[in-house]
Amino acid sequence: MSTPDVSLAQAFVAARGASATPESLPPLQERLARALAAARGPWPGVELEGPRFVSHLARLLGGDAPSEDVEKLNLSDVYLARAAADGLPSALQAFEARFLPEVDAAVARLKLPPTGLDEVRQLLRQRMLVGSAEAPARLAAYPGTGPLSGWVRAAALWLALDWQRQRGGQAQAEDSDLSVLMAPGDDPELAYLKTTYRAEFNASFSSALASLEPRQRNFLRLKYLDGLSIDQLGALYGVHRSTAARWVVGAQEALLQETRRLLTEKLRLTRSQLDSVLRLISSQLDVSLSRLLRSRLD
């Protein structure tokens, strides 16, 4: 009697960092086989390996969601996105034909010049389909919770607005220094520190950011600029969410520690004043880092 094929179930369980009893694997295999068939249906000729696809599904779901939730995802879109991110020629062709026209629809109201529209298209191709050694193709982070067409339109609109902003010569000083941390109700000492030491903080933050490894900078960009969740980061890099979380925390800590070191060298403050500045940086990191990073990483 032949052993039943449970390769999809085993790949799914392994990607979740979990374990499963032998009797639980066959029903999981059936569910994943149905999901794979449904995902492949709209894309004839796009042959992504089954274990690769279900491992990706597992990372998109995260550790706590039941396996039944795979059926809630836009399976065919997730399948094409994963295959295109992996560089399968048939998937790249299908994505170009089906989804790149969404760029024109998304940015039509902005009335970009032809050169601008061409640049946005190329940027979208680069970020979605190509990526780099430090930042894989962004399609790998598509969460599957909404249509891929809407996700592509949103990315195209973000790129188009960014293109307009860069060409418009708008002042960015208020988004690139310690003034972004100002908040109503600050006590007088804190307000004074924010205003007085913005230049020193600005320089220290820039130096600390530049000292990070390229991959660490990309983790921060993906989280704070592109808004990816930990689960999406894990899917993008093909790792468990706990690993992705450690990477992000490590990048944050390295940035804060180096900023602290440089500020300590630059500023002649009392211990309480320096502690106030450093508490400010740490406590409002989530609020301020996206604006600070945008001016440094664009």
Least confident of 6-10, 15-19, 225-229, 272-276: 272-276
What is the band of 289 on the pLDDT scale with cuts at 50, 70, 90? low
Output 281 or 37, whichever has higher pLDDT.
37
Predicted pLDDT of residue 154 = 78
pLDDT tens across 50-84, in order?
999 999 999 888 767 788 889 889 999 999 999 99
Residue 183 above 50 pLDDT?
Answer: no
**How does residue 174 score in pLDDT terms, banded at 50, 70 and 90?**
very low
More reliable by pLDDT, 148 or 272: 148
What is the per-residue pLDDT for 98?
92
- Which tokens hold the place of 128? 């979605």
pLDDT digits (tens, 9 = 90+) for 129-159: 887 766 778 888 888 877 888 888 878 887 8
Does 274 score more than 70 pLDDT?
no
Predicted pLDDT of residue 105: 79
How many Å apart are CA 219 and CA 206, to the nearest integer? 16
29-62 core/surface letters (b: 16 or more CB in 10 A; e: else): bebbbebbeebbeebeebebebbebbbbbbbbbb
Does this model's pTM top 0.85? Answer: no
Specify the residue for token string 């609020």: 287
pLDDT of residue 112: 84
Q: What is the mean pLDDT of the chain?
A: 78
With helix as H, strand as E and coil as C, how does the chain read?
CCCCCCHHHHHHHHHCCCCCCHHHHHHHHHHHHHHHHHHHCCCCCCCCCHHHHHHHHHHHHCCCCCHHHHHHCCHHHHHHHHHHHCCCHHHHHHHHHHHCHHHHHHHHHHCCCHHHHHHHHHHHHHHHHHCCCCCCCHHHHCCCCCCHHHHHHHHHHHHHHHHHHHHHCCCCHHHCCHHHHCCCCCCHHHHHHHHHCHHHHHHHHHHHHHHCCHHHHHHHHHHHHCCCCHHHHHHHHCCCHHHHHHHHHHHHHHHHHHHHHHHHHHCCCCHHHHHHHHHHHHHCHHHHHHHHHHHHHC
The answer for residues whose C-beta is within 8 angstroms of residue 46's C-beta and 6 or more apart is 40, 79, 80, 83, 88, 90, 91, 94
